[in-house]
Amino acid sequence: MESQKNVIFFGAPGVGKGTQSKKLSEELDIPHIDTGSLIREAITSESPLGIKAKSFVEEGKLVPDELVIDMIREKLIFQKNKGFKGFVLDGFPRTIGQATALDNLLGLLKFKITKVINVQAPEEILIGRLSSRRTCTNKSCGTIYNVITQKPAKEGLCDHCGSPLYQRKDDSVEASKQRLEEYHTKTAPLEKYYRDKKIVADIDGTKSPDEVFQDIIELLNSPAPVK
């Protein structure tokens, strides 16, 4: 593979992009940037950006895009100073506005997106996966399981920290349908934005996690341009 890989993971809830992005981060030894975790880490560390973010979180508001971009900038500059090999972005951008802000940031840092990996699966499969998800109650852990495809070693308990697992309200069947509808409505323009740049690669997310990951590695190793 090239010396640097800057990858964005794209895909509907339940398609497995979180699992795959973390595996790729470990495989390539590059940071996995999940904006949710990034915000939590900043708040916990009580950094200047974290203090700003905390005020929004405590009021039940979304952290503004500008602040999230500042956090990503801080993360990337830190990594660049260590000897930059790339990054994996998971869950960001979600809108055209976020994508253009990210492009501006990467341009300033002289980075370029290598691939946008679009993991796909039919809606009925995604609904089944989402409604089978269980999440660790320990917020500092937050590991996600699936009672069908990724069971914990002990039923109802997290493998990593031993805390009980629970089903989030937004993982019910009805909530899952609403989440998918919202995703497709909001992200359709974003998908076109990246397809116009000819950097999107579609991956079959119906396969096993190991097979999906192998497809991703083969894609990133391939010298052929993405159509």
Tokens of 71: 């956090």
Helices (H), 61-208: 65-83, 96-109, 123-131, 173-196
Whole-number Å distance between alpha carbons of 125 and 18:
16
Distance of CA 5 to the CA centre of its chain: 16
Report the interhelical angle of 96-109 vs 65-83 (nearest 10°).
30
The answer to whether 173 and 127 are in contact (CB under 8 A) is: yes
- 52, 73, 80, 94: the catalytic one is 94
Tokens of 134: 């269980």
Whole-number Å distance between alpha carbons of 135 and 156:
10
- 5, 115, 133, 134: the catalytic one is 133
Tokens of 46: 């009580």
> Count of residues for the chain?
227
Please confirm, yes or no, whether 133 is among the known catalytic residues: yes
Please confirm, yes or no, whether 17 is among the known catalytic residues: yes
Supply φ then ψ for residue 58, to 5 degrees. -65, -25
Q: Is the peptide bond before 93 cis (omega within 30 degrees of 0)?
A: yes
- 112, 151, 154, 168: the catalytic one is 168
Catalytic sites, residue numbers = 17, 94, 133, 168, 179
